[in-house]
Structure 1
């Protein structure tokens, strides 16, 4: 059971574009040590081109590099940020959310936990659904199935979470159509 789903970068950018349509330059924060970083960036850049936006790729694999990435975003005047799926970024979520908040950068994240901790918006696989799938797997193994014979299951349930408190702080009006699609709205 995998909770990571590598081809959501384009969808996340579309959602971010709905929320911040005037942002012409979007920062993309990725971890160069992640083997999926290049394909994620390519996916996002393709979507950005279709939306008439430009991207600024920023790499970080240490806390100091995260600080440097935000400095580069400010210097280049990026108007929004998309954070790529990465366990290091999950670990560093407080730093990333804090820097986005201090810089008034609307940011799209990949996990509900970011929005719950004060991030603006997230779109990603449902942890609850993944845990249920893991439970089903454990049940099959306990009933005698060989783990090697069980297929890898990709996520099928994705959650859109919007933090209205953060949107208000950033001076953003969340479109009603986006609010209507949200699985959770934090007020």
Structure 2
């Protein structure tokens, strides 16, 4: 009888062990079967961080949750090109289901790494001009996504409304960002057509921002900055230089106003991320093919105004502008 009880106990232990071992193998296999979503972010600053937050929230809302229905592989290159290249190669080696590039340099690195894996662009002003798609309406390859094309003309109209006496506008951007070069050229053309005298200076890295912005601030009545990741990463440095010269900054991005800029008509970075996440989810569900999916845009910008900065600089805000903000 004792032998029988012992045999049953051993058998029970063996069966229990086999069950949990099989369960572990099943769970492991299931995790391996989850689609991998690779997200590559150029660097850390508030605008790009908000885009990433929006992407994740949209994916979750669409049913893609890290560790449950997808495997998220998030990589931040911290502004280093070699990191962008190696991280892109990592995604390809992992056979990701879809790759997402936050900012133009990240998207370009992903595009160079694969012509087969679907790529969704997060915050690329003009994918066609950046050489990422054949056509913004009909991309034609493995890439589509979201444009953060900023309403430049409206931004300069805002400058005129807030600074009716201004005559000289400075344009500051990074010469290493294709996205910024295109915007700066458009801005100079628009400003000239509106009767402004423009002075354009460039930086090659964040180390240049202090000296270059101080020089520019001494020559102009206001400074306009495009959607530029290098300048955004050194926004505090820029504002320190312009405040010293009592010169307002009109950035293209809403979060840069919060960091010391005066005002903009800008796109909501979080909403850009949400739209990017929704497009990513559509690819994962098989509902969308990048080749035939047009680049998407947010419908309109919002007036963002730093009233505290206006007081610091002694700038009066027209009541009509306050009324527009209240009705947004």
Shared fold per TM-score greater than 0.5: yes
Tell me which residue corresponds to 1:94: 236
Residue 188 of structure 2, aligned match among 32, 45, 51: 45
Residue 32 of structure 1, aligned match among 155, 169, 175: 175
Structure 2 length-normalised TM: 0.51
Are the aligned partners of 2:268 and 2:302 in contact in 1 as well (CA < 8 Å)? yes
**Which has the higher relative contact order, 1 or 2, with Cα contacts under 8 A spaced 6 or more apart?**
1
1:20-169 aligned at under 5 Å gives the runs: 20-76=163-219, 78-145=220-287, 147-149=289-291, 150-169=293-312
Are the aligned partners of 1:122 and 1:162 in contact in 2 as well (CA < 8 Å)? yes
Are the aligned partners of 1:2 and 1:153 in contact in 2 as well (CA < 8 Å)? no
**SS of equivalent residue, structure 2 residue 241:** helix
In terms of Rg, which structure is larger?
2
**SS of equivalent residue, structure 1 residue 108:** strand
Q: Structure 1: any 5+ residue segments left out of the alignment?
A: none
List structure 1 segments (4+ residues) > 4 angstroms apart after TM superposition: none
The worse-fitting range, judged by mean Cα deviation, of 127-136 and 54-63 is 127-136
Distance 1:175 1:97, change over 3 A: same
Equivalenced residue count is 184
Q: Structure 2: any 5+ residue segments left out of the alignment?
A: 1-120, 126-147
Are the aligned partners of 1:7 and 1:43 in contact in 2 as well (CA < 8 Å)? no
Post-superposition Cα deviations, 1:142-179, rounded to whole Å, max 9, x if no partner, equal: 32235534332123232221011100100000112222
Structure 1 Cα separation of the partners of residues 213 and 270 of structure 2? 31
What is the RMSD computed on CA atoms of the aligned residues? 2.4
Tell me which residue corresponds to 1:14: 157
